[in-house]
Amino acid sequence: MIQRKTQVYIGCMAALVSVFGLYNFAIYTNDDSSYEVRLSPAALKGQELWQQNNCFSCHQLYGLGGYLGPDLTNVFSAENKGPEYIKAFLNSGVKTMPKFHFSEAEKEALVTFLKEVDQSGYYPNYNATIKSNGWVDIEYKDEK
């Protein structure tokens, strides 16, 4: 016979899973344009190359990825960096970086991907505001 305690646990589980379902629906369908950057076909090609070559095992985007190489979120717009700087590195095989053999079109696609990532926000977010309750208001791109 099922004890009352078990019935309560089953009830708790049902409630929790229901809230989880709604929460997931909200996350998956959240289409707030202020937080969205739609990748162009060229950038999507660049993203595919990024994954096929496992670039995030060394590099980060928004601080997510490996730590052997630098974060590349804003490498496109950073001072003294930019498209030519990125292209120069791609096939260089410098230090631990593998010796890639990207064609000019592939290099262009990767640069476009990094350009559009750059347009999505800032990392590190130097102009964020740290609040006394522990919260951080990050600066969004184009919010000035």
Partner 1 sequence: MRPSNRTDGLISSIKMKNKVALLYLGTALLALLLGMVFGILSGLQYVFPDFIKAILPFNSLRPFHVTSVIAWIILCAIGGIYYYLSISDVPRLYSDRLSKIHYFLFLVIGIMIYYSYYTGNFGGKEYLEFPPYLILPILFGWLLFGFNYYKTMVGKVKNWPVYYWMWGTGILFMTYHLSEAYLWLHPDIKNNFIKSLAIQWKAGGSFVGSWNMLVYGTAIYVMAKIKGDDSIGRNPKAFFFYFLGLTNLMFGWAHHIYIVPTAPWVRYVAYGISMTEWIILFHMIYEWKKSLPEETKIKNLLPYKFLVMADVWVFLNLILALLFSIPAVNFFTHGTHITVAHSMGTTIGINTTILLASVLFIVNQIQSDFNLSSAKKGFRIFNVSLLLFWLSLLVAGVKRSHWMYFSKGTPFSEMQSQSHWVYIAFLLFGTGIFIGLLFITLPVLKTITTTCNAKGLNEIEK
Residues at the interface with partner 1 (CB under 8 A) = 1-3, 5-6, 9, 12-13, 16, 20, 23, 27-28, 30, 32, 35-39, 44, 47, 51-58, 60-71, 95-96, 98, 116-117, 120-121, 123-126, 128, 130-131, 134-136, 138, 140-141
Closer residue to partner 1, CB minimum distance, 107 or 113 = 113
Minimum CB–partner distance for residue 105 and partner 1 (Å): 19
Minimum CB–partner distance for residue 14 and partner 1 (Å): 12
Longest Cα–Cα distance of the chain, Å, equals 73
Q: Is residue 58 within 8 Å of residue 68, measured between CB atoms?
A: yes
Torsion angle (degrees, nearest 10) of CA 79, 84, 86, 92: -130
CA pair distance 60, 29, nearest whole angstrom: 26
Closer residue to partner 1, CB minimum distance, 2 or 104 = 2
Q: Is residue 142 within 8 Å of residue 118, measured between CB atoms?
A: no
Helix (H, G, I), strand (E, B), or coil: what is residue 49?
helix
Minimum CB–partner distance for residue 53 and partner 1 (Å): 7
Closer residue to partner 1, CB minimum distance, 94 or 105 = 94
Closer residue to partner 1, CB minimum distance, 62 or 102 = 62
Pairing of strands 60-61, 64-65: antiparallel
